[in-house]
Amino acid sequence: MTLIAAGCARHGIPPADQKPVNQPTLHTSRGTVITPEKLADRLGTTGYLLLGEGHTKSCDHMGQAMIVRALAKQGRRPVVGLEMVARDKQPVLDRWNRGDLSLQELEDLLDWKQRWGHPFALYRSIFEVCQTYKLPLAALNVPRRVVDVVRKQGLDGVSFKDRLYIPDSIIPATRRQRQALQPMLAMHAQMSGNKDADADREAFFLIQSLWDTAMAEAAVSWHRKTGHMVVVLAGAGHVENRWGIAARLQTLDPDASLISVMPARDKADMTPQQADYFYFCPSAGSSRLGLVLDIRDDMLVVRGVMPDSRAANAGFEPGDVLVLVGDRRITSALDLHKVALPAAKENRDLVFQVMRKGVQKKVVVRF
């Protein structure tokens, strides 16, 4: 799961893919390969198309762009809604929609680097498709300053002028979502040493529900205003299992049809429960230790272990969360590289502390 990452906190943003990536392939939830054109044919009268992403994954953004392009080539004119842009920046998008701004001006006026943080270049192909086919862009998210107030003071702390960004009714997380997230939230609380885990958990769900409801509400507004499909670009945690934005859309616009597309790193990820379709982007590679890693909210999580590698011999298992190497906390692949490379050169053992199913374990990698 990538659910903790759904909060999209800017601190500790992982580096974007640096290596060239292959074009993703599109698959049905049963694993059958499908062309972008065939997928566009199937969308028919779809009201909302949710395209999930790993924010730093080039391949995911290529998948989003190829789907939007296929729709546009068929003469469709969807509104492209962006999690990455808060609604107070809609006037900037309006100027872009009129053709008044270049890509560089768009990036600058959106204050992209400060507000979103992930490289603008990753999203360039999507913006270029929208520019070529004159597809309107829509801001969906809540301004960060408002989210920060809600996180610290609750909804009552939001100023009168910022109340327009708060939905009339915040639709809470489903019981299924809360149950699925409990183990990861408990692990996160244990790792951080937080003494008030219950309050943090409820604050997390409030913020998630605020984000998902606000984005769904904005998408519904655009759909009703234009009569066109709204394509929502958002982090995978807002799209997977249809319990984020999708659940709110089904409440706010129950008669509209909805399709979700998720990134998949492994073909085993392609299940009907996760999404309707997938762009398959295999994991870019593994660490020198033989670990295939995901980054989830400042945590390195083992997605896979290469056979006959040092990591396999040490006893790493998929799902392990890397907590410490020696006495150093590990929050990024760069952190791991900085400690693993000297150890390898010096033939020095690396002692890891990992969280495995809620229990802290020691794993020793020998060189």
Q: What is the pLDDT of residues 216-259, one digit of tens each?
A: 999 999 999 999 999 999 999 899 999 999 999 999 999 999 99
- 205 and 96 fall within a common domain: yes
- 238 and 271 fall within a common domain: yes
Q: Cα dihedral angle (275, 179, 172, 191), rounded to 10 degrees?
A: -100
Q: Which ranges constitute the DSSP H helices of the chain?
A: 36-43, 58-73, 90-97, 103-109, 112-115, 124-133, 144-153, 175-192, 197-226, 236-239, 245-252, 310-314, 333-345
Q: 92 forms bridges with which residues in the sheet?
A: none
Domain membership of residue 286 (yes or no) is no
Cα–Cα distance for residue pair 19/283, rounded to 1 Å: 12
- 13 and 146 fall within a common domain: yes
Helices (H) and strands (E) counted in the chain, each on its own, are 13, 14
pLDDT greater than 70 at residue 206 = yes
Domain membership of residue 262 (yes or no) is yes
Helix (H, G, I), strand (E, B) or coil at 263: strand
Say how many domains are in the chain. Answer: 2
**Amino acid 187: pLDDT:** 66
Domain membership of residue 275 (yes or no) is yes
- 259 and 299 fall within a common domain: no
pLDDT greater than 70 at residue 11 = no
Is residue 297 within 8 A of residue 208, CB to CB? The reply is no
* Percent residues over pLDDT 70 in the chain: 87
Domain membership of residue 41 (yes or no) is yes
Q: What is the pTM of this model?
A: 0.77
pLDDT digits (tens, 9 = 90+) for 332-346: 766 787 788 788 778
- 79 and 155 fall within a common domain: yes
pLDDT digits (tens, 9 = 90+) for 140-191: 999 999 999 999 999 999 999 999 999 999 999 988 888 877 766 776 666 6
Give the CATH number, domain containing residue 121.
3.40.50.11550
Q: Token pair of 227, please?
A: 């009569």
- 94 and 214 fall within a common domain: yes
Residue that is last in its domain, among 252, 280, 308: 280
pLDDT greater than 70 at residue 19 = no
Range of the domain at 343: 291-365
- 205 and 307 fall within a common domain: no
- 276 and 295 fall within a common domain: no
Of the pLDDT bands very low, low, confident and very high (cuts 50, 70, 90), residue 9 is: very low
What does the H/E/C string look like for 331-359? CCHHHHHHHHHHHHHCCCCEEEEEEECCE
Domain membership of residue 285 (yes or no) is no
Residue 142 CB neighbours (<10 A): 24
**Amino acid 28: pLDDT:** 97
- 168 and 72 fall within a common domain: yes
Residue that is last in its domain, among 225, 246, 280: 280
Encoded amino acid at 332, one letter = S
Domain membership of residue 99 (yes or no) is yes
